[in-house]
Structure 1
Amino acid sequence: MEALGVVVNPIAGMGGRVGLKGTDGKVAEARRRGAQPRAPERARAALRSLRNRDPDTAVYTAAGVMGERAARDAGFDPVVVYDPADSDDRTEADPARPSDPAEAETAATDTRRAVRAVLEHDVDLVLFVGGDGTAVDVAETLESVEGDADDRTPVLGVPAGVKIYSSVFAVTPEDAGRIAAEFDRVADREVNDIDEDAYREGEVRAELRAIVPVPVAEDVQSSKQLASGSVDSLAVGFAREVEPGRTYVFGPGSTVGAIEEELGLEPSPLGVDVWRAGDDGDGTLLARDAAEDEILEVLEEPVTIVVSPIGGQGFVFGRGNHQISPPVIRRADEIEIVASAEKLDGIDALHVDTDDDDLDEELRGWTRVRTGRFTTRLVNVA
């Protein structure tokens, strides 16, 4: 590849670990809760992977945290084509805005302007770092600049957001770098987005927002399926085997929610709940819709984490459940993966993407997934 456009949404994913289920309109609250940016490091990982394979790629990007810093850290000498600190309307809106682009706040308008700027340099691929909202900004800018032309510039996402329903993202940042270096053809794929306010209330309202060309590769994830089969027997079987005195961390989703309902709990469908089993079939709800720090505060060993893979994608950790962070996972002595047989039929392998390479490696390998009251299936965590 001769030229690459890089655009980083530096706030993407900040709301995940602190329990906000997204960052749209919630950046200040995320920071108040102690959230740390994750997108810049994932950008560096992707670009290092690219440079290991294609060090001569010319990189066009935005200043500071929007791409320049990550590109330099990865060993590239990028050409800066957009600086958010130079945006007059943003500066007027915030007179105290720092002049240093590495510290400047950014907005969706900056993402769109950065994409437009890199497209002016005839890049072979736009590599963006963010979530579904960022994907929408990229796709809509691509359409406004290039229209419906058959030779539109392809795009590829590095996953950094809390929710990722679109099929334009690589499975991991390292995969994104490899795909960028090696792809030789593209295919149209979906950009989906959901209403984050409704999502925080437990309702998923997904909408197809665009179709964009994406490199063809095995390690590009599928669109998330929004429905799953019956899990009643699975829930009954799990509930009958809970261990008194054990703490259970219940991840998001309807499958895990069915287990909570069987235990007499009211699940937070898109949040994380923590419950300790009692001696007489009852128990104590320790935290509901909890952020990472709230989970860690109430954990008492032994600990079981209960999660269900995302339908169509197979992610167990790293998509929609960032509250179950590496520190939380390392406190658990048991991880229970639950899914209906129907859901597993649509998944080739399970995936993890925790931001901790060592932990990801520990979690990989063959594992048993509970599929019913008495049944399990052996599935590979790739």
Structure 2
Amino acid sequence: MDSIGVVVNPIAGMGGRVGLKGTDDKVEEARRRGAEPRAPERARTALASLHRRTPDLTVYTAAGVMGEDAARDAGYEPEVVYDPWTEAGNESAAAPPTDPAAAETTAEDTQAAVRAFLEHSVDLILFVGGDGTAVDVAAVIEEHDEETPMLGVPAGVKIYSSVFAVTPRDAGYVAAEFDRVEAREVNDIDEEAYREGEVRTELQAVVPVPVAPDVQSGKQVSSGNVDSLAAGFAREVESDRTYVFGPGGTVGAIERELGIDPSPLGVDVWRDGDLLARDAAESEILEVLEDPVTIVVSPIGGQGFVFGRGNHQISPQVIERADEIEVVASGEKLDDISALRVDTDDDEVDESLRGWMQVRTGRFTTRLVKVI
């Protein structure tokens, strides 16, 4: 590979920890709640991984926080081929903002950058964002050049498309080492419906993606019966222990067994029969935690993520407060998962979670699965 195009959606994933379940049309609300950008740091991590392997690569990118800053921080001297802050007719500041949270970039800016990359015949488009960003990139590829591959650095709240590397570091490795591509699906979710607890995904595109073990699968839904699992868990609930229940149907079944009305895709905190927080943001979870603490999560079907996809409210700070983590899943779901994965934005927390973990699969049954 001789050249690459890099584009960053600087606000991707900002809504996660503050409980918004996404950032589409919610940027101002995310800012009001104190959300911090995560995409720029993830871009730097991916590009540093890439630079270690291909330091002489030609990098085309967009100005400032849309890619230039991360590329320079990683050691590259990128060529800026698109600058939304100096485009004709743009009334915003002439210089790119230094604060990613203040960047007013749009889907049109992402697509304009991708078109510029294609004009320079790049070998790969590396983008940083979530499913919405993937849709924007794929639309340009399908319209102008269906053969140029794309690869995502996961930074969004939810990742349903199968065009992302598992972690930012993996993205750099895959970009540097891949030698073939395959067709993968780009899916997007209706965020308004998602915030109301309903998952509506739609296939948006099929695009070429590098072939590698470190490219994640699309999210799958497993229908295994979890009633006995929920009953077994509820039977063992301890008094004077705080439970943090993650999103998803399996955990929701446990909550219902305990008499809780769960938030379908949110995080709930419960102790001794009292619901302390429902559909809580990270700050709300930390405010009501009282030791000892158990976190209850279920892996994403087909991907295996237990932290870092769709449950960013359970942040590294929350995880560090827990003395117990319970992973629950039906046997059918685990059959489609080769390993469990974590991606919390904190390397030390991720490392502390790796190793073999007991996953509860029924009333009395468990299965050992490795966290990688």
After TM superposition, is the score higher than 0.5?
Answer: yes
Give runs of ≥4 in structure 1 deviating > 6 Å: none
**In structure 2, C-alpha distance between the alignment counterparts of 1:14 and 1:178, rounded to whole Å:** 25
**In structure 1, C-alpha distance between the alignment counterparts of 2:118 and 2:38, rounded to whole Å:** 25
Q: Percent identity?
A: 77
TM-score of the pair, normalised by structure 2:
0.98
**In structure 1, C-alpha distance between the alignment counterparts of 2:94 and 2:31, rounded to whole Å:** 21
1:204-249 deviation line (CA, Å, top 9, x unaligned): 0010100000000001000101343110000000001000010000
Give secondary structure in 1 for the equivalent of 2:302.
Answer: coil
Query: What residue is the counterpart of 1:371 in the other structure?
Result: 361
Task: Give the deviation of 1:253 after TM superposition.
Answer: 0.2
Give secondary structure in 2 for the equivalent of 1:190.
Answer: strand
Task: Give the deviation of 1:89 after TM superposition.
Answer: 4.7
Paired letter, 2:361: T
Give secondary structure in 2 for the equivalent of 1:84.
Answer: coil
Query: What residue is the counterpart of 2:74 in the other structure?
Result: 74
Q: Is 1:212 matched up with 2:211?
A: no
Alignment of 1:1-382 (within 5 A): 1-91=1-91, 97-103=92-98, 104-146=103-145, 148=146, 152-277=147-272, 283-382=273-372
**In structure 2, C-alpha distance between the alignment counterparts of 1:288 and 1:339, rounded to whole Å:** 22
Count of matched residue positions in the alignment of Structure 1 and Structure 2:
368
TM-score of the pair, normalised by structure 1:
0.95
Paired letter, 2:69: R
Q: Is the 8 A contact 1:191 1:212 kept in 2?
A: yes
What 5-or-longer segments of structure 2 have no aligned partner? Answer: none
Q: Is the 8 A contact 2:86 2:95 kept in 1?
A: no
**In structure 2, C-alpha distance between the alignment counterparts of 1:74 and 1:303, rounded to whole Å:** 38
Task: Give the deviation of 1:68 after TM superposition.
Answer: 0.1
Task: Give the deviation of 1:369 after TM superposition.
Answer: 0.2
What RMSD over aligned residues (CA atoms) do the two structures have, in Å? 0.9
What 5-or-longer segments of structure 1 have no aligned partner? Answer: 92-96, 278-282
Task: Give the deviation of 1:90 after TM superposition.
Answer: 4.3
Paired letter, 2:236: E
Q: Is the 8 A contact 1:228 1:311 kept in 2?
A: no
**In structure 1, C-alpha distance between the alignment counterparts of 2:83 and 2:319, rounded to whole Å:** 39
Paired letter, 2:185: E
Q: Is the 8 A contact 2:247 2:311 kept in 1?
A: yes
**In structure 2, C-alpha distance between the alignment counterparts of 1:258 and 1:364, rounded to whole Å:** 26
Give secondary structure in 2 for the equivalent of 1:23.
Answer: coil
Q: Is the 8 A contact 1:255 1:339 kept in 2?
A: yes
Paired letter, 2:112: R
**In structure 1, C-alpha distance between the alignment counterparts of 2:29 and 2:164, rounded to whole Å:** 27
